[in-house]
Amino acid sequence: MSIRRLRSEDAQVLYEAVRESVESVSEWMSWCHPRYSFADSQAFAQSRDAEWDKGDHYSFAIVDAASKQFLGVVGLNHFNRLHKFANLGYWVRKSQTGRGVASLAARLAARFGVEELGLHRVEIVVAVGNLPSQRVAEKTRARREGILRQRLCIHEVMHDAVMFSLVAEDLKA
């Protein structure tokens, strides 16, 4: 498994992965919904270069090293440049969950943030009810810091969230 910069040419494989995963991903990610279309996928994939160039959002495709199959997306966004931290998000297509893909991809993206972008802290904010994503954060060896009250708005409903973090020292091991 590896990560690489998400490209506009990934629109089709992104669309297929999202459609496969709508049932499992949509509960926790507002962008993922039953009406998710190829146009949504295309717009997202085509916007990645501009977001990367502005330094606003670094999106990576998660791919199988041998087959090059598209497995999901991991990314860094919501930067606080003054305090040198950003948010880390991830999702993996339904047929590839439970294999450690998300935790490895998340760790690679966090390392990119520290080594290439000069971040000192990477935060993973997960809805309290999203136990699979919490397990991913734990497998990255992120530290659970506490519960943030009504921190996430998902499908227009407020949710408490668990804050996890990785700091530069955590990523050296």
pLDDT in tens, 81-103: 999 999 999 999 999 999 999 99
Alpha carbon distance 135, 51 (integer Å): 29
DSSP per residue over 128-153, as a string? Answer: TT-HHHHHHHHHTTPEEEEEEEEEEE
Nearest Cα neighbor of 165 from 114, 131, 130, 125 is 125
Q: Which parts of 30-134 are beta strand (E)?
A: 57-63, 70-80, 85-92, 121-127
Q: What is the mean pLDDT of residues 53-73?
A: 96
Question: What pLDDT is recorded for position 160?
Answer: 98
Alpha carbon distance 44, 89 (integer Å): 15
Alpha carbon distance 118, 6 (integer Å): 21
pLDDT in tens, 38-62: 999 999 999 999 999 999 999 999 9
- Domain extent, residue 136, equals 2-171
pLDDT, the chain, mean: 97
Question: What pLDDT is recorded for position 35?
Answer: 96
pLDDT in tens, 18-35: 999 999 999 999 999 999
Q: For the domain that residue 164 is a member of, what is the CATH number?
A: 3.40.630.30
Question: What pLDDT is recorded for position 172?
Answer: 83
Is the predicted pLDDT of residue 16 greater than 80, yes or no?
A: yes
Alpha carbon distance 28, 51 (integer Å): 23
User: What is the tally of structural domains in the chain?
Assistant: 1
Q: What is the mean pLDDT of residues 62-72?
A: 96
pLDDT in tens, 105-147: 999 999 999 999 999 999 999 999 999 999 999 999 999 999 9
Band (173; pLDDT cuts 50, 70, 90): low
> Count of CB atoms within 10 A of residue 36's CB?
18
